Each structure stands twice: as structure tokens, then as C-alpha cells.
Amino acid sequence: MIYTYNEQSNAEQNAELYLELLKKTILFEIWLEVERNFHNPDNIVFDPTKEKRQKGLDWPSIAHSMIGRERMNNLHQCMDSVIKEGIPGDFIETGVWRGGSCIFMRGFLKAHHITDRTVWAADSFEGLPMADPSYPADQHSLSVAFHTMNFLKVSLEEVLENFRKYDLLDNQVAFLKGWFKDTLPSAPIQKIAIARLDGDMYASTWDALSNLYDKVSLGGYVIIDDYFLPFCQEAVHDFRNQFGITDPLIDIDGSGSYWKKTKERVMGNSNQHPTSFYK
């Protein structure tokens, strides 16, 4: 039997094999039984199972991401889509924790030999901010508690080291350290193909949307990791309603949601969130 070697399809297959293994490693799927033996700070109840890791329903002791397999697959599908459709722009995540999603973004670019896009990792690298009283939705007990959770505080140095472990720290990765309201307005980003928002809180979600949405290319994606949280969901609805965004909001796994940007928003002052009308 004679086999025909197809160089292009072989390269694509190798890229997919690499990215599948990268997902398993970032999510620590291969070693869940080992992770059970590690203690979480803040007395967080932790019982990793394949089902929970699939949905991102646990807070991992070791894994470099907590978004779970289904949201990681969604990110992969969105990146595939913008590349195949030629949608211009960089990739950004606002709220990176240990860096896992951004590591996967950079791995995707490397696997496909894409050198003209940058992965932006925006985070305070000091945990979540204190709840701002000007955002009533963030007075929810959970939103207030986020600031006190040491588990969510991951330093820039630790994230950099995580990138190094995968040999993915290079000049196609850029870091924006600080609160979103301070870093995103002046971030030197021209166009965005994928904006992945993982800031949990109303204020963080609003700040990311208001500063980045106009840079998202038509055909690009906005992914909301924490859409199931009521205060995050409220920020998304307020922003979409205020600026006439009607692109379908699609559920990913019962926690995250996303939409594909098909038209520009209605013009207006995106720095004025609805709750500020009542101050």
C-alpha cells in the first residue's frame, strides 16, 4: 500500500495534537488524583473531578487555569474562527489569574506560525479590587468578598514563570499591570480579534467593555467568563442595552457566555455606567 504524504494536513494535525495536550496540561486534567492532595488557601472546598474540571466548577490548587475544558474549547473555537475568517486584531484577557488562558492563546499562535498578533494579559496581579460604592451591584456579599481572597492573588512574577514553563514567553506576549480603569484606557492596542473578560465584578466587567469594545473588529468575539455571576451579568446587560448591542449572547457551559460582534455599537459615553446616573 502506498501512502501519500500531505504536508499541510500533517502540519495542521500536529498543531491540533499540540493544542489538545496543552489544554490537558494547563487544566491539569491528566493529574486530577494528584491535585486532590494539595491544600487550597482560604479554606476553599476542593474536590476535583473530571466532571467539575469540564465545567470549570472547581478552584484548582495546581492547574494554571480555572475556566474548565468547555470554556477553553470555546476560546479555541473563537481563535480558529477569527484566523480562518481573517479577522484582524490581537487577543486579550482581562483577569488572567495564573495565566492559563493567555498561555493557551500564545500556544495557539505558535502552533499555527502566526507572528503578527499579540496576546495581552491585563491584571492587577494583586487580586481583585475593593468593591466601589459607586457600583451598587458590587455591594453583593460575594463581590465584596473577592478582595479578601488570597487564592485569587497571583503575582506577575508567578505568571511570567508559568509562561516560561511552556516556552511561550516572548515578544508576542504583553502585560498590562494595574486596575483595568487605569491601564486599559491608554493600552497601546490597535485592534482586537478576541476580548476575553474574566474580571468577575460589575466594575471590572464594565471597565473592560467600555475601554475595549470599540477596538474589537467586526467578526471578532467578546467572551464573558463570569456571566453566571449576577453582578457581572448586570454589567454585560447594562452595557449591551445602553449601546444597542443586539448580537446574540450564546451560553458556553452554564457559566460563561460570548457573542460575535457583527456591527458597531450605538455611539455614546461608554465611561458613564447606568448606575452613575443615580449618584
User: Splitting the chain (279 residues) into consecutive groups of 10 residues, what average pLDDT does each group show?
Assistant: 54 93 92 63 57 71 92 98 98 98 99 98 95 87 81 95 99 98 98 98 97 98 97 97 98 97 83 49
- Residue 185 is predicted with a pLDDT of 98
Q: Residue 191: CA atoms inside 13 Å, Cβ hemisphere, count?
A: 12
DSSP state string for 104-156: HHHHHHHHTT--S--EEEEE-SS-PPPPPTT-GGGGSHHHHHHTT-GGG---H
Q: What number of residues does the chain have?
A: 279
Contact 181, 121 (CB under 8 A): no
End-to-end Cα spacing for the chain: 77
- Residue 44 is predicted with a pLDDT of 54
Question: Cα-flanking dihedrals φ and ψ of residue 70, to 5°?
Answer: -65, -40
Scanning the structure block, which residue is given the C-alpha cell 491535585?
A: 35
Number of other CB atoms surrounding residue 229 within 10 Å: 21
The CA distance from 190 to 208, in Å, is 15
| Partner residues linked to 194 by β-bridges | 91, 221
| Partner residues linked to 224 by β-bridges | 197, 257
Look up residue 136 and give its three cell numbers: 451598587
- Residue 145 is predicted with a pLDDT of 84
Domains in the chain, start-ordered, CATH in brackets? 84-278 (3.40.50.150)
The CA distance from 33 to 35, in Å, is 6
Q: What is the pTM of this model?
A: 0.89
